[in-house]
Amino acid sequence: MRYDALIIGAGLSGLGAGIRLAQFGKRVAILEKHSVWGGLNSFYKLEGRLFDSGLHAFTNYVPRGERTRPLGKILRQLRIDHDALELGEQTWSAIRFADAELKFSNDFELLRSEIARVFPSETANFDRLVADLPDYDVLDGRRSGVWARAELTKYFREPLLVEMLMCPLCFYGSAHERDVEWEQFAILFRSLFLEGFARPAGGIRAVLDVLVKRFKAEGGEIKLRSGVRRIVIDGGEARGVELENGAVLEAEHVFSSAGRVETRRLCGAADEAADVGRLSFIEAIAVTERTPRESRFDGTAIFFNDSPRFEYARPDELVDARSGVICTPNNYATPRPLAEGMLRVTLLANYDRWTALGDEDYAREKARATELAFAAAARFAFDVRGREVFQDTFTPRTIERFTGHLGGAIYGSPRKSHDGSSGVERLSLIGTDQGLVGIVGALLSGITIANRREQQSTRTAP
């Protein structure tokens, strides 16, 4: 049996690409190793509770009718109604450092006024930065080689402001240690500050349901528990895939969301270990009877740092509790409030150290890292300690096991392939290592690369 297109991975980029290819009339199947779709942003059930594996904030939020921004574009391309996602907006979020705070919300004026309050001499510079911010066309993957820290230093005299702006942007999308590429900075700045945060009322599962339904309605096929063992290559061209169960599926074109190095390995190349991303994370989750508001916290996400410089690098220790993200899904204005309180804390973690632990040490270290995470939350947001009715923590090991991303690197390899090329003909990279991250970013990545492929296939000889 022969497909027009096979997609490796039923994460957001795979689903985005799949819907587009099916709309183009292609015979397409998505092959997913796991028993459930979603990839890095999936869901799981523990003791009767449904958890999102990734969701802090649905970034890039714009209201219905705003069509030129990424969210408007993807909804239009996928023909999904804005209302179907039931997005509730955040209350407010903040960047909190040891002795300064900047609040922001979906109203950009809040961040502007906060800059004016905390860094009065930088107000005009901040406006200049916003005016200069490239409106990056997602179809254009060119990179200038400029780094955000250096570029920001040209705008601001206050080093603290540079550090504060870097903090949320790195945590929400930099695959590089200590910095972020200027173009990626611009994309993230828009998606966090000029657009905003929201939460789908039904969590990520509801979003995935909408996407999967759309894909099937267009005639697409999803095969779960269908890990790809090998990409079949002949004459330098991908011809199909071999599944872990030995079945071989042929295709005109293969799209892979597995990651750059991961995909190279599926092609039989053993090199490129140096391109595996170094940044991984732990996430500690607490469920409480009390809501965060009852603990007098009505914010949404806190990006914290309490060392002089914001480091954003693989720690030597198991985790680095000096900076991180604290988030609660309760404080979004969704139509149906959550029944229980929930807190999520993300910290940078060292993949090698976590994978070197034996089972007993692993359990103990996980408990210790969780304590550090909740202590940070108590300092920068609210205290759940002693009040947890349920607790779960995942580590770089968990991330690698469930998503296949080497090194547990959520944002993938620092080496991106912005045009989706993989080095092998008829094989394209989509998702994380194509360069667009986050829920909306991954969807846009899949859509963009599928569109480009369709456009190329309508090119006829003159």
Partner 1 sequence: MTNDEIVLAIKDIIATIAPDEELVHLKMDVRLREQIELDSMDFLDIVMELRKRYGVQVPEQDYMELATLAGCVKYLGPKLADKPLKLASRA
135 contributes a contact to partner 1 by CB under 8 A:
no
**Which is it for strands 301-305 and 93-97: parallel, antiparallel or unpaired?**
parallel
Q: Shortest distance, CB of residue 227 to ligand FAD, whole angstroms?
A: 4
Interacting stretch for ligand FAD, rule CB under 6 A, among 51-59, 133-141, 158-166, 330-338? 51-59
Tokens coding 190: 């828009």
281 three-class SS: strand
CB of 8 to ligand FAD, least distance (A): 5
Number of residues that bind partner 1 (CB under 8 A): 21
Instruction: State yes or no: residue 136 binds partner 1 (CB under 8 A).
Output: no
Residue type, 409: A
Residue located via tokens 């990409």: 231
Helices marked H in 195-250: 203-217
247 touches 253 (CB < 8 A): no
Q: Which is nearer to ligand FAD, 174 or 305 (CB)?
A: 174
Q: Which of 2, 76, 368, 401 binds partner 1 (CB under 8 A)?
A: 76
Q: Which one of 78-86, 150-158, 331-339, 397-405 is the stretch in contact with ligand FAD (CB under 6 A)? A: 397-405
6 or 161: whose CB is closer to ligand FAD? Answer: 6
Q: Is 178 left (phi over 0), alpha (psi -120 to 50) or beta?
A: left
Question: Quick one: residue 268, left, alpha or beta (phi over 0 = left, psi -120 to 50 = alpha)?
Answer: left
Tell me which amino acid residue 225 is.
R
Residue closer to ligand FAD (CB basis): 271 or 360: 271
* Under rule CB under 6 A, residue 400 binds ligand FAD: no
In angstroms, what CA-CA distances link 21 with 29, 212, 260? 10, 14, 21
Q: 3-state SS of the chain: helix, strand, coil percent to 5?
A: 40, 25, 35
Q: How far is the CB of 429 from ligand FAD (least distance, A)?
A: 10
Structural tokens at position 198: 């929201």
Alpha helices, H only, 281-350: none
Candidates 326, 437, 447, 450; binder of ligand FAD (CB under 6 A) is 437
455 binds partner 1 (CB under 8 A): yes
Q: What are phi and psi of 147, to 5 degrees?
A: -105, 145
Whole-number minimum distance, CB 444 to partner 1, in Å? 10
Residues touching ligand FAD, count (CB under 6 A): 37
CB of 445 to partner 1, least distance (A): 13
Which member of 22, 29, 31, 338 binds ligand FAD (CB under 6 A)? 31
> Per-residue string for binding with ligand FAD, 255-274, x by CB under 6 A?
--xx---x---x--------
Judge contact between 430 and 12, C-beta under 8 A: no
SS (H, E, C) 357-425: CCHHHHHHHHHHHHHHHHHHHHHHCCCCCCCEEEEEEECHHHHHHHHCCHHHCCCCCCCCCCCCECCCE
Does 449 contact ligand FAD by CB under 6 A? no
Other CB atoms within 10 A of residue 277 CB: 26
Measured from the CB atom, the residue of 326 and 442 that comes closer to ligand FAD is 442
What one-letter code names the amino acid at 146?
Answer: V
> Which residues of the chain form contacts with partner 1 (CB under 8 A)?
23-25, 65, 67-68, 73, 76-77, 79, 139, 447-448, 451, 454-456, 458-460, 462
Q: Which residues bind ligand FAD (CB under 6 A)?
A: 8-14, 31-34, 39-41, 54-57, 59, 227-228, 257-258, 262, 266, 283, 399, 403-405, 410, 431-432, 437-439, 442
